[in-house]
Amino acid sequence: MQDEPVVDAEEAPLSEEAPLSAHAEPADREVESTLRPRQLEEFVGQPRVREQLQLVLESARRRGTPPDHVLLSGPPGLGKTSLAMIVAAELNSAIRITSGPALERAGDLAAMLSNLTEGDVLFIDEIHRIARPAEEMLYLAMEDFRVDVVVGKGPGATSIPLDIAPFTLVGATTRSGALTGPLRDRFGFTGQMEFYAPEELEHVLRRSAVILGIELHPDGGAEIAGRSRGTPRIANRLLRRVRDYAEVRADGTVTRDVARAALRVYDVDELGLDRLDRAVLTALVRSFGGGPVGVSTLAVAVGEETSTVEEVCEPYLVRAGMLARTPRGRVATASAWAHLGLAPPAGTPGEAAPTLFDD
């Protein structure tokens, strides 16, 4: 049996949270950690990335060398952190965890790199947000396993080369386009994470229900999966909230009816939209006639920060086909009007064109 990887730092907070809360509570983070798969064979979904990563790790094991650096790219909540921990577990190595925003100075990174032992895995979440001085130091560390430490200031400053142990960097990013070319090119493998199909999320929920001791009926799992926005992290959080409802207001068993009643209480509708999502759509449709309207104006209308609307709500609304980004601003599609129970005006994006046989 493989030893679990050693974690020497707190896991960096993730950039986007699921509906129901603005930030995960410590207890929720502990539960999420419990639900993480420990080995590659336990990881549900992402079959292409799993196959590719398995080849990278197995070939490295056979050569007896650390695998190439790994970049995992994709929306929040799809398992990038879990895969980083699995890499360390599969290699029977320790993992050091940090985040891009935490590496403000090159010295911060140098201190972390100098403490690595051979074969360690360094995981940097939100690596696209790493400070430029630290990023430039990372180039040399990734290629030559060496860092140059500058001692002194001004004309008298000297650079001292410092060898570091061979390691594997696993970087995670939600915005691969924000990575600089030199940094992106130094990764030997890039895995693009995709949203999960409902059937895959049902598998995730069944596994989580067993771990948490929840009696989950297949129809209850299907109901939760359909409202989870294709994201395992959201599915697991909704499962825990449905469990709360089932224990307090039902017999503890999660059926379809119980799941529907629970998610109604928590303002998660049949498409996975929460209160803020619907507020954005309602403001766009009722206050601005469906748009176009600027995102900052839309944010003021719903009483949220512009970044919250742009980074938390918009990606899913666009993917669900309810909102369109145009050069003039945000526009509600015909699906958004229909979801709110309203008839779209003529010319709305996504509206079916009339045929010759229409009255």
Tell me the per-residue pLDDT of 237-265, one tens digit each, with 9 for 90 and over: 999 999 999 999 998 899 999 999 999 99
The residue written with tokens 């410590």 in the block is 26
Active site residue 153: no
Judged by average pLDDT, the poorest of 105-119, 140-154, 302-316 is 140-154
Beta bridge partners of 121: 95, 168
Residue 32: inside a domain, yes or no?
A: yes
Q: Given the residues 229, 233, 243, 278, select the one marked as catalytic.
A: 233
Cα–Cα dist 342/356, whole Å? 25
Reported pTM: 0.81
Determine which one of 50, 80, 227, 241 is catalytic. Answer: 80
Assess whether 286 and 252 both reside in one domain.
no
**Tell me, what's the pLDDT at 348?**
66
Whichever domain contains 104, its CATH number is 3.40.50.300
Read off the CATH number of the domain in which 257 is found.
1.10.8.60
C-alpha 221/C-alpha 305 separation (Å) is 33
The verdict on whether 61 is a catalytic residue reads: no
Coil, helix or strand at residue 131: coil
pLDDT value at position 218?
95
**223 and 335 housed in the same domain:** no
- 226 and 328 assigned to the same domain: no
Q: Quick one: pLDDT band at residue 340, thresholds 50, 70, 90?
A: confident
Would you say 322 and 332 are in contact if contact means Cβ atoms under 8 Å apart? yes
Pick from 147-161, 180-194, 281-295, 296-310: least confident: 147-161
Which string of b and e fits 146-166 if b means at least 16 CB within 10 Å?
Answer: ebeeeeeeeeeeeeeeeebee
109 with 225, same domain? no
pLDDT in tens, 35-77: 888 888 889 989 999 999 999 999 999 998 899 999 999 988 9
Domain that holds residue 51: 26-192
Q: Retrieve residue 286's tokens.
A: 């009722």
* Residue 20 tokens, joined: 């129901």
Residue 279 placed within a domain: yes
* pLDDT tier at 110, thresholds 50, 70, 90: confident
Cα–Cα nearest to 308, from 267, 276, 282: 276
Average pLDDT (326-345) is 87
Confidence of residue 173 (pLDDT cuts 50, 70, 90): very high
Asked if the model's pLDDT at residue 327 lies above 50, the reply is yes
pLDDT for 249 equals: 92
Q: What is the pLDDT of residue 200?
A: 95
Query: Given a cut of 70, is residue 28 above it in pLDDT?
Result: no
Percent of the chain predicted with pLDDT > 90: 43
Does the pLDDT of residue 354 top 50, yes or no? no
Predicted local confidence at residue 23, as pLDDT: 44
Q: Domain for residue 19, yes or no?
A: no
- Whether residue 181 is found in the same domain as residue 58: yes
> Among this protein's residues, is 108 annotated catalytic?
no
pLDDT at 357: 36
Domain count for the chain, please give it.
Answer: 3
Q: Within this chain, do residues 181 and 242 fall inside the same structural domain, yes or no?
A: no
Q: Give the percent of the chain with pLDDT over 70.
A: 84
One domain, residues 123 and 230: no
Question: Is the confidence at residue 2, as pLDDT, over 80?
Answer: no
Does the bond joining 75 to the residue before it have cis omega, within 30 degrees of 0? no
- Which residue in the list 81, 168, 255, 333 is annotated as catalytic? 81
The whole-chain average pLDDT of the chain stands at: 84
pLDDT of the residue at 87 = 93
Q: Of 168, 173, 174, 348, which one is the catalytic site residue?
A: 174
125 noted as active-site residue: yes
Told to judge if 180 belongs to the known catalytic residues of this protein, a careful annotator would answer no
Q: Is the pLDDT of residue 10 over 50?
A: no
Pick the catalytic residue: 96, 98, 125, 231? 125
